[in-house]
Amino acid sequence: LLEETNEVQVETIVIVDFGSQYSRLIARRVRECNVYCTLVPHTVSWEEIQPLNPRGVILSGGPASIYEPGAPTAPPWIFDHSIPVLGICYGMQAIAHQLGGRVASGSNREYGHAVLHQNAAEHPIFRGLPSEIPVWMSHGDRIEELPAGFESLAYTENSPLAVMGRDKIIGVQFHPEVVHTPQGRDILRNFLYEICGCQGIWTPENFTKKAI
């Protein structure tokens, strides 16, 4: 876990992998924002993560349904240490399920392009974005009831709760990491800069130079 990092890293994002085909793409997008990140399994312990002093956590999507036997869950420590969290697709569903919301199979699988309509344009996750943006969906299950304290931040025609938030915990039903969400990088950047407080000081070149 720690083999890619050392003491010169001052801001790190941890990406918890639920088996998504896009997990490494999420990591690439984060690093394109000049923020260091590391990809870890969902079984990772706080003892392994604590030395990284993470600025934030991203929960990837995944092929499972949250109610399937053996379905992966978010490690409990992400809710115990006031760390900003972004759940993507299955990651959002895991947050909702584990914090007392309700996830159900969607009446129609939402796959492909959709239009996201904001309910809370002032939220930092949408900073600098228009009120309606195209996004890429790929899910069957969807959030039916929000956990306590969460609010709906955006919706699509088939997902009334397409973005949810409480404090610095955000869930998005779409995939901001793929090119089919044209402004997805802006959403990830907003999470990293506006919510996690990252400054974008990492590059492969300066990391290598300092490490050597």
CA distance 160 to 146: 11
Is there a catalytic annotation at residue 37?
no
Find out whether 175 and 163 touch, Cβ atoms under 8 Å.
no
110, 175, 196, 198: the active-site residue: 175
Active-site residue, 175 included: yes
Which tokens sit at 33? 């924002």
How far is 113 from 135, CA to CA, in rounded Å?
A: 6
Q: Which of 89, 97, 139, 196 is catalytic?
A: 89
Residue tagged active-site, from 97, 177, 196, 198: 177
Strands 12-17 and 132-145: unpaired
Catalytic residue status for 42: no
C-alpha to C-alpha distance for 51 and 32, rounded to whole angstroms:
24
Return the active site residues: 89, 175, 177
